[in-house]
Amino acid sequence: MAAWALLALLAVAPAAAGGMLSFASYYGDHMVLQKKPSGAVVWGHGELGAMVTVTLSGASGLIIMEKTAQVKGPSGTWITVLDPMDQGGPYALMAEQGLENVTLRDIYFGDVWLCSGQSNMAMTVLQVANASQELAAAAHYPYVRIFAAAPARSDVELEDLEHIDLPWSIPTAENLGHGNFTYFSAVCWLLGRSLYEALGSPIGLVEVAWGGTPIEAWSSRRVLQACGLPEDTGSTSPHQYLSGPQTPSVLWNAMIHPLLNMTLRGVAWYQGEANTFLNTDQYNCTFPALIADWRRAFHTGSAGQTEPLLPFGFVQLSTYRRRSADDSFARLRWHQTADLGLVPNARMPSTFMAVAMDLGDEHSPYGSIHPRDKQNVAHRLLLGARAVAYGDKDVVFQGPYPTQAILEVARGLLNVTYSQELICRQRVAQAFEVCCCSQASPCQWLPAPVVAVESRTVTLALSGCRTLVLGLRYAWAEWPCEYQACPLYNPQGLPAPPFLLDTLPAGNAAGGRELLLLPGSRFPLN
């Protein structure tokens, strides 16, 4: 264990501050600040024109660095960037203004991750499978620190958080399982815990989530403008199925904008269910635009310390209704990848995705839209984070994806080659569909049953399609398979993601006619 991990934890309350001097709301005892190569941004409030001295001290009281900043602006704020620090602690962070001072204690340097989204991100550790075991394990992770902002909305961009549900804390069974959909986020905690185990570095987790909220509420006006969506607050009529705020930008204003000065290492996002009811087919614009906008805003707000391509992980939607004919979930999953099927991609660089369509939970006491298996979700996010955020090239973090198709016209077969070795767990009759077309009728989606699965190839029967194959899709349903029993996985246990592909003739090949596979765009989604 690292030397810093052997030092006793300090739990001293911050010194009382008179007058106007304070740190911003989300700085406090027990917090984690971003370690090198970035410098952590520290800011707060003070008396206009005054000089504030910020001092970082080690456990022995030895001063490690000292920074000064002037209180400026209409609201009287000061800001400074600490020199990049190695991981570890504990440290004390003191701000002084004249005779006033405020001291924060038990500060560590590590990696800071922001976790945002709607109710599947807000689900707490109390609500997941094996909750009692997960809560009992909290005591083993004193260097994973947690913070939760309170749900809040605003019609204007706020400078600081107005309310906090959980100030920076050392994890306990009580604060990890405070109550249903409160704090602390199970996905965020399980990801952070796994990152700590993988990296050995302190981890700071910041939860900013609100159930039943669409992406438009989390988006700045810049995102809405880029995607041609209304910006004015009176233009969005409330949707009966959504419980949270739907007004454009109100959560960006109150919950994200105040955090922009924070130096971050990455973002985890679990949202999208609300957009199966609202602006579903705009999500292929709003989601990539939100990612790009958050990156620009955090990079600028942190004086360039948060990297421009801030790693951004997300959970592809799980399931809702078992026998629903509605394909809004399937469309939303596709749009979560910017209609390209896999991430990272050209429209969504430095992103990673946890496929969750095989983690359905029909009997969840919180409703089937809230599956309790958040451990597999977090594990899949962890693999993506290790590969994309931390550059571990040996980690497999994506499931198998089609690379080639050969049409055997005489035998009525389609051989689909994948990027990885395949493990077939289940033969689902409706899993694969082909879009068939003839001169007399428009393109129609028909089942293409699996005939055989070999090392990297799936053979599909085209008995209902003896004409022109224009498209191929997989797992295009709200509830595509049973729990951990979708048809195709890789040897590492990662499911093949859903896809929608155009098939274009590409010449003759051994055994038949080769089809070029491109992200689907030529036919209706449903």
Cβ atoms 318, 356 nearer than 8 A: yes
What secondary structure letter does DSSP report for 213?
-
CA 262 remoteness from chain centre: 18
The predicted structure's pLDDT at residue 468: 79
Query: What gap in Å lies between CA 406 and CA 388, rounded to an integer?
Result: 32
CA dihedral of residues 43, 47, 51, 57 (deg, nearest 10): -50
Q: What is the CB neighbour count within 10 angstroms for residue 138?
A: 22
Query: What gap in Å lies between CA 38 and CA 265, rounded to an integer?
Result: 9
Cβ atoms 295, 312 nearer than 8 A: yes
pLDDT tens per residue across all 526 residues of the chain: 454 544 333 233 333 333 489 999 999 999 999 999 999 999 999 999 999 999 999 989 999 999 999 999 888 999 999 999 999 999 999 999 999 999 999 999 999 999 999 999 999 999 999 999 999 999 999 999 999 999 999 999 999 999 999 999 999 999 999 999 999 999 999 999 999 999 999 999 999 999 999 999 999 999 999 999 988 644 455 666 678 899 999 999 999 999 999 999 999 999 999 999 999 999 999 999 999 999 999 999 999 999 999 999 999 999 999 888 889 999 999 999 999 999 999 999 999 999 999 999 999 999 999 999 999 999 999 999 999 999 999 999 999 999 999 998 888 899 999 999 999 998 877 899 999 876 556 778 999 999 999 999 999 999 777 667 889 999 999 999 999 999 999 999 999 999 999 988 877 776 677 888 999 765 555 5
For β-strands 266-270 and 312-315, DSSP reports them as: parallel
In the chain, what are the domains?
A: 22-105 (2.60.40.10), 109-231+242-390 (3.40.50.1110), 402-519 (2.60.40)
What secondary structure letter does DSSP report for 252?
I
The predicted structure's pLDDT at residue 236: 53
Could you tell me which of 246, 230, 229 has the C-alpha nearest to residue 238? 246
Query: What gap in Å lies between CA 202 and CA 111, rounded to an integer?
Result: 6
Query: What gap in Å lies between CA 68 and CA 51, rounded to an integer?
Result: 7
Q: Look up residue 503 and give its two tokens.
A: 């098939």
The predicted structure's pLDDT at residue 466: 64
Amino acid at 496: A
**Contacts of residue 188, Cβ cutoff 8 Å, sequence gap at least 6:** 113, 115, 121, 146, 205, 207, 268
Query: What gap in Å lies between CA 135 and CA 64, rounded to an integer?
Result: 36
205 SS3 class: strand
The predicted structure's pLDDT at residue 17: 35
The predicted structure's pLDDT at residue 235: 46
How many residues are recorded in the chain? 526
